[in-house]
A and B are shown apart, each in its own frame.
Chain A
Amino acid sequence: MSRLRELAARLAAREVSAVELTREALARIERHDGDLNALVTVCADRALAQAEAADATLAAGAGPLTGIPLIHKDIFCTSGVRTSCGSRMLDNFVPPYDATAVEHLDAAGMITLGKANMDEFAMGSSNETSFYGPVRNPWNTDYVPGGSSGGSAAAVAAGLAPAATGTDTGGSIRQPAALCGITGFKPTYGRVSRWGMIAFASSLDQAGCFARSAEDCALLLQAMAGFDERDSTAVDRPVPDYAAALTGDIKGMKVGVPSEYFAEGLEARTRAAVEAGIQELEGRGAEIVEISLPHTDQAVPTYYVVAPAEASSNLSRFDGVRYGYRCDDPADLEDLYLRSRGEGFGREVQRRIMVGTYALSAGYYDAYYLKAQKVRRLIADDFRRAFEQVDVIASPTTQGPAFRLGEKLDDPVTMYLNDIYTIPANLAGLPGISAPCGFVNDLPVGMQLLAPWFEEGRLLNAAHAYQQATDWHTRRPEGFEA
């Protein structure tokens, strides 16, 4: 039985109460988070109040998530609870409203334990750009957990919570899930509302979740997904029953393996682990088909135009006037803007704002932004053609396991190339999942599965079938068992 189903069963049988589960989780955070720095805010009182309410609902019979604790990435606005986005800019920001995703999970009866650390404004692949310091990987605390949703991933891997939310703009759910040995799921662009989720790159950002299995991710997506009037890019189409799609039967499913994702740069043992994962799928009756996604090498360059351009525009709202950080004693209005933004944003965020501003500036727009939008279509068309032949695509999630803290921090381009296998799905808007598939140097690595637009059920079922055949997703880091 999956972790969330097991907790739901224990709650329903009154073997444990939501208040007890919450106290247990808070105690675990207290005991372990000093080593991990996975949370920036713990909201114990609020969580216990939610748990009491959940217990009252449970007495009358409730949904599959009622009374189960989770952690939200600190990019989701939570009414009355500081939402920092990992930035000094929002260190004092207490939103007066909830993000739609938070609202949905609250309505499902889930309990918010706290807010997870993250790369500043979700810009990073190692969780080292946070104003609140780096998060450490529970498998080895000298290593990064990945990013940008590094706090969410580390928290679930260490058992601080059975589930967490995240956002994925270029791999920020799938990459940390792989490096922390858990399951991380990014739905199709537009499937979950972006309202109340602090914007980084609006044409790429998508909310998703972390848990111990694809089955648990299906339960979470069921609650998170749905149309929202308040998000102009939320997609208005019915939400299917994802749990019903988890038959575990993948006989005859065509699994595409893109040669470009197994080319130079992929670490040899990571490759072997992913290839073994693909063989498991074949062993369950899937048909393996070699495919080509010829524009794969253009994805990272495309992303580093589109994402910074959208970020420079989105982050122009942080001006020191209406909320967030304001510099001391501004000499005039211009000084207020310049210093509030110069002091409030960290280095990586400033770099990306400047790249985006440059790419959008007069005389460069066609060469950068327009060109990138055209290449983006070529990348999406690669997938469109591939999905005429196959049902899902399997690949590594990353080129290798987690790297050491500080190892890539001074070299932005090397850091960016980390996301080479995850970025294409964001550019195309596709759903993707990372499932643990083995270990390299005692650090976990993941297999990524991608499916066509809105085929989350098929995608989750493929990962579920894999997890029925393997036990990588059940491994826990030493010192964080149970």
Chain B
Amino acid sequence: MSLKPEQVRKVAFLARLRLDEDRVPEYANELSGILGLVDQLERADTDGVEPMAHPLDLAARLRVDAVSEGDQRDAFQAIAPATEGGLYLVPRVIE
């Protein structure tokens, strides 16, 4: 599977990554190489094989739906790029 520059631009946007335009061809090459490696998977016969999502085949553990953490907003917001009045600030979304 080889990726064209416009596919790289699309994937980069889906992943919310701004790429330098002059690097797009390099990325297209590199990603195509990686997908070429991955394409070897086609050789494996997986008919009737159950997909393995967890190495120990364990189901997710449930816990009691109870408050386990106190309020640590100040500690967490102390390391945020921009906050105001206990809220995280981002550029205006609604005009």
Contact = CB atoms under 8 A, between A and B. Distances in A.
Contacts of A336: 90-91
Contacts of B91: 330-333, 335-336
Contact of B55 (A189, A301, A302, A321): A189
Contacts of B67: none
Nearest to A355: B34
A232 to B, nearest CB: 6
A373 B61 contact: no
A321 B52 contact: no
B37 A354 contact: no
A412 interface: yes
Contacts of A428: 55
A316 B50 CA distance: 28
Contacts of B86: none
A413 interface: yes
Contacts of B11: 354, 357-358, 361
Nearest to B72: A96
Contacts, number: 173
Interface in B27-57: 27, 30-31, 33-44, 46, 49-56
Interface residues of B, number: 54
B4 to A, nearest CB: 12
Interface in B61-79: 61, 63, 68, 72, 75-76, 78-79
B92 to A, nearest CB: 8
B14 to A, nearest CB: 5
Contacts of B58: 190, 233, 235
A320 interface: yes
Contacts of A298: 40-41, 43-44
Contacts of A326: 81-82
A342 B58 CA distance: 36
Q: Which secondary structure dominates where chain B touches chain A?
A: loop
B23 to A, nearest CB: 9
A252 B53 CA distance: 35
B55 A429 contact: yes
A96 B44 contact: no
Interface stretch (A67-75, A210-218, A284-292, A375-383): A375-383
Interface of B: 3, 7-8, 11-19, 27, 30-31, 33-44, 46, 49-56, 58, 60-61, 63, 68, 72, 75-76, 78-82, 88, 90-93
20 contacts: A295-B44, A304-B38, A321-B80, A323-B79, A323-B81, A334-B16, A335-B91, A338-B17, A338-B18, A342-B18, A354-B31, A358-B11, A358-B31, A372-B38, A374-B46, A378-B49, A416-B34, A426-B55, A429-B55, A429-B56
Interface of A: 92-96, 189-190, 203-204, 229, 232-233, 235-236, 295, 297-298, 300-302, 304-305, 312, 316, 319-324, 326, 330-339, 341-343, 345, 350-351, 353-355, 357-359, 361, 368, 370-378, 380, 411-413, 416, 426-429, 453
